Amino acid sequence: MHFLKWMYPGIKVKRWLLLFSLGVIVASMGIAIVFNYKYAGNLEEAIFRMVYLTTGKYYYAVTTIVGVSVIASGLVVMTLATRQIIASVISVLIPEGSDRLIELIFQKRKLNRGPAVTVIGGGTGLSVLLRGIKSVTGNITAIVTVADDGGSSGRLREDFDMIPPGDLRNCLVALADTEPLMEKLFQHRFGGNGDLAGHNFGNLFIAAMTEVLGDVEKALKESSKVLAVRGRVLPASIQKVRLWARMTDGSVVEGESNIPLTQKRIDRVYLQPEDTMPVESALEAIRDADAVILGPGSLYTSILPNLLVQGVAETLRQSQAVKIYICNVMTQPGETDGYSASDHIQAIVDHVGPGIIDYVVVNTHHVTMNLQEKYASQGAYPVEVDVDAIEAMGIKVFKADVISETNWVRHDPLKLSRTIVSMIYKLKTNSERMRLLDYYLIGESIKNLKK
């Protein structure tokens, strides 16, 4: 079954197998000319004598069958020989085997020509989406918040005067197409009590690359090569920024990590400096996208900080892309207590204005009572999906089962990516639909063969 993967359309292998076959035929004709036609005539005469003496008839039918059998045998031998040649080369260049090679070819030939998707956000929610969406397109750009100031990222931010690398690292790993050991290495957090305690190796790696290359964008690009990343990971800005929040009681909180801890209702968040400049590549990714996706992730500390960077919201508003907001399934204590789906959207509109969301994806799968009780003990509850209120804002609602339930309620990467691709397919023009559906179905076929 694995060898059949080489026959997928667009891999550009079948044409060379056909050319190889034609070359063998031409070479055979040349050999016949060099060694005289009489040898072929002698073979045909021997077949005639054997058939005629045995049956006395059916000469032409039998010679046709023999000829077809000879051709088929030759093709089988050619195929086996070609397969062994390929396997021999693969064993040296790619020790992981032919499955790995065909995935790489598929990625280059098909996924890199898939729909252009730009994802804006941060935190674990963004990583979940990227893990799923990379299976259906290689044209992915993740625009990541740089307002994080806690943990290892916060320490590196202060010690090296750099943007926090934590969310950037998570996105790189989510888009990586590399060995599990490398992924474990990049996610490894040092223990002990020394200076390295609590630091993440991937964060240190990005910090070192930034110092060596002198530019965080170059550092992310080179890190992407190490991890064999599908797509790009870009910071929303390369400036060192800090997130502030003004609460409904008038108090002000400094720092992304401190905002949820106050347990007060947020009125507004803003960046310092307020004129934070964007990364131009991020704006280009929004302009060139077939679809721009906001979330999933923390509303005030992962999504809005990106939109507050100068030019991001306006570029998104002017983009011809399909603009999709993925609403959180559960409320977040200290950020969105008591929020419905329309409250999430209204908060975005209040901060950056209308016109940046065309569709909102909401979960339809019922969260089990056991999990609801577990979340309730921490002050989190399922987000109410108030469809009428959302549609009154001029935004269309797309309902789907997009979660997985284990010990926690999380967006499911595969379900979410299927939903997003389905939406893009339905909303693009007919010619684009056929192209996008082709990539999607081939991607699904390869995943099924793996199973």
- Dig out the tokens for 331 from the structure: 């409320």
Domains of the chain (ranges, CATH numbers): 2-102 (no CATH), 110-146+236-450 (3.40.50.10680)
Report whether pLDDT(443) > 80.
Answer: no
Strands 266-272 and 242-247: antiparallel
Residue 273 has pLDDT above 90, yes or no: yes
Beta bridge pairs of residue 272: 242
What is the phi/psi pair of residue 357, to 5°? -130, 125
Q: What is the pLDDT of residues 356-378, one digit of tens each?
A: 999 999 998 889 999 999 999 99
Q: In DSSP terms, which residues pair with 271 in a beta bridge?
A: 243
Say if residue 296 is preceded by a cis peptide, omega within 30 of 0: yes
pLDDT of residue 313: 97
CA 214-130-436 angle, to 5 degrees, is 115
Indicate whether 270 pLDDT > 60: yes
Each residue's pLDDT tens digit, 328-338: 999 999 999 99
Mean pLDDT of the chain: 82
For 201-219, the pLDDT digits (tens) are 999 999 999 999 989 999 9
Q: Three-state SS across 57-98?
A: CCHHHHHHHHHHHHHHHHHHHHHHHHHHHHHHHHHHHCCCCH
Q: Where residue 442 falls among pLDDT bands split at 50, 70, 90?
A: very low
pLDDT winner (highest mean) among 86-90, 223-227, 257-261, 304-308:
304-308
Q: Note the pTM of the prediction, 2 decimals.
A: 0.76
